[in-house]
Amino acid sequence: MSAAPSREALRKLSEDYYDLNGSFIETLDTPPSPLQFSRLIHVSRPVIIKGWLLLVYILSNIDILNSGHDVPPLTRWSDQYLCERMGDHPVSIAVTPDGRADAVTKGPDDKLYFVEPHVEGMTMSNFLAKLDVLYLQSQNGNVYTDRTFEEEDDPSEFDPLRDDIPKDVPWCTEAVDRSPDAVNLWIGDGRSVTSIHNDPYENIYTVVRGQKHFILLPPTDGWCMQERLYPHARYTRHRPDAPLSLQPSIDAPPVRWASIPDPHIDPETAFPPEVHPLFVTLNAGDTLYLPAGWWHHVRQSGLTIALNWWYDVEMRGMTWALLSFLRGSNDVPPGNASDAGSSEEIDAPLEL
């Protein structure tokens, strides 16, 4: 018997969740106290926190009063400032033909692949000059990793900018009683899109410049993502001036990824009627609490700079086990029909 929950049961759960919660998103004008934020983590709904000055700097490890600045350092992040601070330091940039890194794409053999970007080192000024197919998004704790909090050596490409970036979000650190697992810097523009996925992190996401557009769904809607297993590939450049080509990986395990159409293009087609995506736009200075396990699709308007702090999800209790359960961890069919072994039973597509 299948070890995945039945689809009917999960549809009912989506409906019950929506009946209880609607599409309400709380907006706070000031950052929460640690106790208030602990309650919000338990509720596990997205929250928008306005006013990054308060958010990031009050109580933070950056002493703005004694920093000699009359505005928070992040508000000074013009192109010119970033180029001057970073100088000739090379930074790792995701290069793709279409701005879609970490996404499912058709390869030259007509098979679908989960494709990671080509990564090139370049200076900040080169990057900002030709941003339109590039995305600074290394997602590996490119500003700080947990090594910082374990007082180990923690080198970063963005060392020249670290003075401007808080190591943690104090009210979140105290609420969850642990340090961030990673702090990331993201710079991209309208062509950079993050395809829909979820993460096992409590995520604090602050927009520094520009505008981010999120499509959000709760973990209880995971059943409609139609996750499939895709072979892994990577964009590569065979010569420095050659165009990018999609290179299937030899040894990488297949990647499990949502197979639904891009929900930004048509949410009606992407999702069944039981689920009710939330649409959130963050402006500079706005922060989103994106709870662990929430599905998110992200795009931006114009040049957009953001920072995020990932905190490990609570592993005790039911959260982790339920997130796995709601993804139906044991029954993911292949994304290409030709990969279906005869011994493997393939789920029929969802009848939406």
Give the residues lining the site for a second copy (CB under 8 A).
Answer: 1-13, 16-17, 20-21, 34-35, 38-39, 41-45, 174-177, 218-220, 314-322, 324-325, 328, 330
Q: Which is nearer to a second copy, 2 or 301 (CB)?
A: 2
DSSP lists the bridge partners of residue 297 as 215
Q: Which is nearer to a second copy, 21 or 139 (CB)?
A: 21
Q: Which is nearer to a second copy, 285 or 333 (CB)?
A: 333
Q: Which is nearer to a second copy, 55 or 323 (CB)?
A: 323
Tell me how far, at minimum, the Cβ of 38 lies from a second copy, in Å: 4
Tell me how far, at minimum, the Cβ of 330 lies from a second copy, in Å: 7
Distance between CA atoms of 195 and 197, rounded to whole angstroms? Answer: 6
Distance between CA atoms of 143 and 165, rounded to whole angstroms? Answer: 8
Residue type, 225: M
Three-class secondary structure of residue 73 per DSSP: helix
Q: What is the 3-state secondary structure (H, E, C) of 279-345?
A: EEEEECCCEEEECCCCEEEEEEEEEEEEEEEEEECCCCCCHHHHHHHHCCCCCCCECCHHHCCCCCC
Distance between CA atoms of 262 and 225, rounded to whole angstroms? Answer: 11
Tell me how far, at minimum, the Cβ of 219 lies from a second copy, in Å: 7
Tell me how far, at minimum, the Cβ of 350 lies from a second copy, in Å: 13
Rg over CA atoms, the chain: 21
Tell me how far, at minimum, the Cβ of 21 lies from a second copy, in Å: 6
Q: Which is nearer to a second copy, 30 or 330 (CB)?
A: 330
Tell me how far, at minimum, the Cβ of 197 lies from a second copy, in Å: 19
Q: Which is nearer to a second copy, 4 or 303 (CB)?
A: 4
User: Longest Cα pair distance anywhere in the chain, in angstroms?
Assistant: 68
C-alpha distances out from residue 312 to 195, 240, 319, Å: 21, 38, 12
Q: Which is nearer to a second copy, 17 or 122 (CB)?
A: 17
Please count the CA atoms within 13 angstroms of the CA of 236 that sit on its side-chain side: 8
Query: Strand 201-217 and strand 144-145: pairing?
Result: unpaired
Tell me how far, at minimum, the Cβ of 170 lies from a second copy, in Å: 13
Q: Which is nearer to a second copy, 269 or 329 (CB)?
A: 329
DSSP lists the bridge partners of residue 16 as none
Distance between CA atoms of 293 and 217, rounded to whole angstroms? Answer: 9
Joined together, the tokens standing for residue 172 give 């979140």
Tell me how far, at minimum, the Cβ of 218 lies from a second copy, in Å: 7
Q: Which helix (H) or strand (E) holds 289?
A: strand 287-290
